[in-house]
């Protein structure tokens, strides 16, 4: 069984669908095929500008049968790439001949146990894993969360009717995104929010798809969750009361060992703290939210070039070392000289940007044209929500790669806002906006234009001065 297409995109996540949609716009009459492991794919919707180059968006999940007619879809899994012959083979034995190929196969959760299947460990990554989490939560009273990034933070805040034990390797929460000051802002707000018991009631649902039965943890890799994935999902445990409980946080700790308890009673977990002491606790199951590995679970006739982090190495046009083979999203690693204010993080925002860039680059290559790299790669930008607060991250927001040669200005209003500017030689190099994100476009302009802010001193964050109008 064989098929042919001009453009073949592998992966039904945000990067893959963004790539296919970009190709459909640039080459509307070309044959485009999207190969996806799941019949549920992710696409970007409700794209709203927060600043000139920064956008927030929702992720829409839809069945492949509901996709438009701009490209075809095939539910199967990539098995082997024959780059010299310009064809691939799927797990079902289908051979697909292509002219241009883009690999958007995403990432696989890093499970601390190292096992692909562990009944006591859930790796949150895609829709299927969230369904599994819901089923396990229905009978759970104690849950351990391991990790300190976005998904771990969201779960620690959103889980209710369950005791949460949150194990982090750092000295403060949400260290992937925020500094200790912002972490303390969140921690205080979380304590007071729970004390007031003013949690808003939102419509929730159990995620159900008639076409896709929930699977236990296996080797299938569904598309990654998008922003606000938990917003309409019931994350309730078995303890009564209908309330969120403050998580118990174990700082600078790691899991030393896990022992199964008899009669499916959960796990006995031994924690090791930084000072060398140990602590034991019991839980019904463990959520491993410690990041992802690039998913390259397929073979190739010629070796792909990989970066040190395991990602497929790509240049500024999203090209790999193989002829006519591109890559985008979590599976790839940017191997071009990064712009002054940009760096790679495996986020939904960059998955969309890379996918769209790969589509434009493939379309240009097919017509013998050249294309410039999108301007979004000039400035790092990410919009998310943490502990109920809107968050905007711009540039070197935590002083990444700036060494010690920078200063920080902070404005903090309890339970309202945490604004941080990172300055180097009087120029704004990064910004973190929590709660109040109105300054996003102003910060974007200040970073890109390199305006000397030294004459304004600390007044740049004076709440009585409207810098939006001043630097408009």
172-201 tens-digit pLDDT = 999 999 999 999 999 998 887 665 544 443
Q: Which candidate, 128, 310, 340, 102, places its Cα nearest to that of 219?
A: 128
Q: How confident is the model at residue 276 (pLDDT cuts 50, 70, 90)?
A: very high
- Residue 303, classified by CB atoms within 10 Å of its CB into exposed (0-12), middle (13-18) or buried (19+), is exposed
Q: Which residue has the tokens 């669908």?
A: 17
**Which residues 6+ apart lie within 8 Å of 210 measured at CB?**
none
60: pLDDT strictly greater than 90:
no
Number of H helices, E strands in the chain: 7, 29
Q: Where are the domains of the chain?
A: 2-106+295-373, 110-291, 388-470
Are 7 and 31 in contact by the 8 Å Cβ rule? The answer is yes
Q: Which residue has the tokens 């309330």?
A: 243
Fold matches, 2-106+295-373 and 110-291: yes
Which tokens belong to 205? 């649902």
Radius of gyration of the chain from Cα atoms?
23
**Which residues 6+ apart lie within 8 Å of 25 measured at CB?**
359
Strand-pair partners of 272: 254, 278
The rounded distance, in Å, linking the Cα atoms of 420 and 270 is: 37
34: pLDDT strictly greater than 60:
yes
Which tokens belong to 394? 């711009």
What is the reported pLDDT for 229? 60
Which residues in 147-290 belong to E strands, given as ranges? Answer: 163-167, 248-250, 253-260, 267-273, 278-283, 285-288
Are 295 and 108 in contact by the 8 Å Cβ rule? The answer is yes
Q: Which residue has the tokens 């109920």?
A: 388
Percent of the chain surpassing pLDDT 90 = 69
The per-residue b/e assignment along 240-268, b for 16 or more CB within 10 angstroms, e otherwise, is eeeebebbebbeebebeebeeeeeeebbe
Domain at 110-291: CATH code: 3.50.50.60
Domain 388-470 is in which class?
Answer: alpha beta
Phi, psi of 191, deg, nearest 5: -65, -45
317: pLDDT strictly greater than 90:
yes
Chain mean pLDDT for the chain: 88
Which tokens belong to 314? 């790509």
The angle formed by the CA atoms of residues 257, 263 and 267, to the nearest 5 degrees, is 20
What is the reported pLDDT for 243? 66
The rounded distance, in Å, linking the Cα atoms of 381 and 49 is: 12
Cut 0.85: pTM above it: yes
- Tell me the torsion sign for CA atoms 445, 449, 453, 456: negative
Q: The sheet that has 2-4: what strands, in order across it?
A: 2-4, 95-97, 87-90, 78-82, 299-300
457: pLDDT strictly greater than 70:
yes
What is the reported pLDDT for 292? 87
Q: How far is CA 140 from CA 29, 109, 131, 134, 285, in A?
A: 52, 22, 14, 10, 8
Which residues in 198-276 belong to E strands, given as ranges? Answer: 248-250, 253-260, 267-273
Which tokens belong to 121? 């460990």
The rounded distance, in Å, linking the Cα atoms of 327 and 314 is: 7
Which residues in 304-395 belong to E strands, given as ranges? Answer: 312-314, 325-327, 332-334, 381-386, 389-395
**Which residues 6+ apart lie within 8 Å of 460 measured at CB?**
409, 421, 453, 467
3 state SS of 341 = strand
The rounded distance, in Å, linking the Cα atoms of 295 and 286 is: 22
What is the reported pLDDT for 209? 31
The rounded distance, in Å, linking the Cα atoms of 60 and 46 is: 9
CATH pick for 2-106+295-373 out of 3.30.420.40, 3.40.50.920, 3.50.50.60, 2.102.10.10? 3.50.50.60
116: pLDDT strictly greater than 60:
no
23: pLDDT strictly greater than 70:
yes
The rounded distance, in Å, linking the Cα atoms of 43 and 24 is: 14
Q: Average pLDDT for residues 373-379, to the nearest whole number?
A: 96
What is the reported pLDDT for 217? 38
């Amino acid at each position: 069984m064989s098929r042919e297409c001009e453009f073949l995109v592998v992966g039904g996540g945000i990067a893959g669908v963004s790539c296919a949609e970009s190709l459909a716009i640039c080459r509307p009459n070309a044959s485009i095929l999207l190969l996806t492991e799941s019949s549920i794919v992710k696409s970007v919707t409700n794209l709203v500008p927060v600043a000139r180059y920064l956008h927030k968006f929702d992720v829409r999940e839809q069945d492949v049968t509901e996709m438009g007619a701009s490209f075809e879809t095939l539910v199967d899994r990539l098995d082997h790439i024959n780059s010299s012959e310009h064809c691939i083979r799927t797990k079902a034995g289908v051979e697909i001949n292509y002219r241009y190929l883009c690999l958007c196969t995403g990432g696989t959760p890093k499970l601390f146990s190292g096992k692909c299947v562990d009944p006591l460990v859930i790796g949150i990554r895609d829709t299927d894993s969230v369904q599994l989490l819901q089923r396990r939560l229905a009978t759970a009273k104690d849950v351990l969360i391991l990790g300190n990034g976005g998904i771990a933070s969201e779960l620690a805040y959103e889980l209710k009717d369950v005791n949460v034990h949150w194990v982090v390797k750092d000295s403060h929460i949400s260290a992937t995104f925020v500094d200790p000051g912002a972490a303390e802002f969140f921690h205080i707000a979380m304590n007071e929010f729970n004390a007031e018991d003013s949690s808003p009631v939102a419509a929730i649902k159990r995620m159900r798809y008639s076409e896709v039965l929930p699977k236990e943890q296996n080797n299938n890799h569904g598309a990654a969750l998008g922003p606000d994935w938990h917003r309409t999902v019931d994350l309730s445990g078995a303890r009564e009361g209908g309330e969120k409980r403050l998580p118990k946080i174990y700082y600078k700790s790691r899991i030393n060992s896990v022992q199964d308890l008899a009669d499916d009673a959960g796990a006995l977990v031994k924690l090791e703290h930084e000072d060398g002491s140990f602590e034991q606790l019991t839980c019904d199951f463990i959520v491993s939210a410690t990041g992802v590995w690039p998913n390259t679970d397929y073979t190739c006739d010629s070796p792909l070039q990989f970066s040190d982090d395991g990602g497929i190495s790509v240049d500024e046009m999203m090209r790999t070392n193989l002829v006519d083979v591109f890559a985008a999203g979590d599976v790839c690693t940017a191997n071009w000289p990064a712009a002054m204010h940009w760096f790679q993080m495996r986020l939904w925002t960059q998955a969309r940007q890379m996918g769209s860039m790969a589509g434009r680059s493939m379309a240009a290559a097919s017509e013998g044209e050249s294309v410039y790299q999108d301007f979004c790669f000039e400035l790092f930008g990410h919009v998310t929500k943490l502990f109920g607060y809107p968050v905007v991250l711009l540039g070197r927001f935590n002083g990444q790669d700036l060494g010690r040669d920078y200063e920080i200005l902070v404005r903090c209003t309890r339970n309202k806002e945490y604004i941080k500017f990172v300055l180097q030689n009087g120029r704004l190099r990064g910004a973190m906006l929590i709660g109040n994100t109105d300054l996003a476009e102003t910060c974007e302009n200040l970073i890109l234009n390199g305006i000397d802010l030294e004459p304004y001193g600390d007044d740049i964050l004076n709440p009585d001065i409207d810098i939006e109008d001043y630097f408009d």
